[in-house]
Amino acid sequence: MSKLKVAFFDFACCEGCQLQVYNLEEEILDLLEIVEPVEWREAMSDQSDDYDVAIIEGSITRVEDEEHLKAIRKNAKTLIALGACATIGGINKIKNNFEMQDVRKYVYGKDANMPHLDTYPTKAVNEVVKTDYMVHGCPINIKEFSYIVRSLAIGKEPKIPNYPVCVECKMKENVCRFEYGEICLGPIIRAGCDAKCPSNGMWCFGCRGLVDDPNVNAAKDVMAEYGKTLDDLLGKMLLFGNKQEY
């Protein structure tokens, strides 16, 4: 069996999701048996346009990046969005709450109009090109990443959880964050993170995005039980998934 040729590309992001690939530690050695990285700027000096799978990290915020992404899409048989910046625009979408001229001016002051500092409202990868698979999260869950890559290498369709974080949180036997008087996005956000945040004393920020068909009625019931409304819940979607459709 020939190895799956994989190329990594990154746009506006912290590169923390690529970093998770290193964090597979010894498992990287196993993956290299079935996958051949042909371009990965953060790790390798090699470059190539000949790849089966393009893995895209980061959001699109500039015209030139949009062109680059479209060229990658043409080369790739399969395109994967890696991490929240790529899948839902992530933290970068907070910028879209402001006028672009305002954010440029705030950060760069009198130099704000220099052409290389240009920016437009943040887009997720699938707002620019067709996206075949998404590895959700900020950061991604490395086990899920490895599973998706292994599935593709053997021609299997990966199954991504489409139930809310509450399911995994309950399995961890955590006390519900609502019991602490907090608003947690668990009821409407896609599981697959092992409920990392609620298991460590924090509410769910929603970094994996909404489940495909959020059970709004159930979420309403949960909110009512704690004297809150659905709007309170949606109002918490400030950090990730800003301006997501729901």
Partner 1 sequence: MAKTVNIKVNHVTRVEGHGNIRLRASDGKVEHVEWQVPEAPRFFEAMVRERSFEDIQTIVSRICGICSVTHSMAAIKGIEDAMGIKASEQTDKLRILCHYGEQIESHILHVGYLVAPDLLGQKSVIPLVKSHPEVVKTIIRLHRLGNTWMEIIGGRMTHPVTLKPGGFTVLPTEEKLRVLKSMIEDAIPDLKTLAEVVLSLADKLPDFDRDTEYIALTGPDYYTFYHGDIASTDTDEKVPIHEFERVANEYVVPQSTAKWCKWHRDSYAVGALARFNLNAERLLPMAAETAKKFGLKKGACNPYLNNVAQIVECVQVAEHGLQLIDELLTNGLKPEPVKVEPRAGEGVGCVEAPRGILFHRYAFDEKGLCTKANICIPTGQNHGNIQKDFEALAPQIIDRDQDEIRLLLEMLVRSYDPCISCSTHYLNVEFV
Residues that bind partner 1 (CB under 8 A): 11-20, 22-23, 25-26, 28-29, 32, 37, 40-46, 58, 61-62, 65, 90-92, 94-95, 97-98, 102-104, 106-109, 111, 114, 116-117, 119, 138-139, 196-197, 199-202, 205, 238-239
CA angle, 133 then 155 then 135, to 5°: 20
Q: Select from 224, 244, 226, 225 the least CA-distant residue to 234.
A: 244
Rounded distance between C-alpha atoms, residue 77 and residue 65, angstroms:
20
Q: Which residues contact 32 (CB under 8 A, 6 or more apart)?
A: none
Residue closer to partner 1 (CB basis): 156 or 172: 172
Backbone angles phi, psi at 53, to 5 degrees: -120, 125
Looking at the Cβ atoms of 132 and 234, the one nearer to partner 1 is 234
CB of 221 to partner 1, least distance (A): 26
| Secondary structure of residue 88 in the 3-state scheme | coil
**Spatial distance between the Cα atoms of 134 and 210, rounded to a whole number of angstroms:** 13
Task: Check: CB of residue 222 under 8 Å from CB of residue 179.
Answer: no
Length of the chain, in residues: 246
The least distance separating partner 1 from the CB of residue 122, rounded to whole angstroms, comes to 9
62 or 220, CB closer to partner 1? 62
- Min dist. Cβ of residue 26 to partner 1 (A): 6
> Residue 130 and residue 148: Cα distance in Å, rounded?
18
Under 8 Å between Cβ of 169 and 197: no
* CB of residue 227 to partner 1, shortest distance in Å: 20
Q: Which residue has tokens 């970094």?
A: 207
Paired tokens of 193: 């993170």
Which CB sits closer to partner 1, 117 or 216? 117
Q: Which CB atom, from 117 or from 218, has the smaller least distance to partner 1?
A: 117
Q: Minimum Å distance from CB 15 to partner 1? A: 5
Return the structure tokens found at 56: 């895209």
CB closer to partner 1, 26 vs 245: 26
Of residues 37 and 164, the one with the C-beta less far from partner 1: 37
Nearest CA-CA partner of 192 in 245, 133, 131: 133
Distance of closest approach, residue 178 Cβ to partner 1, in angstroms: 16
Q: How far is the CB of 161 from partner 1 (least distance, A)?
A: 18
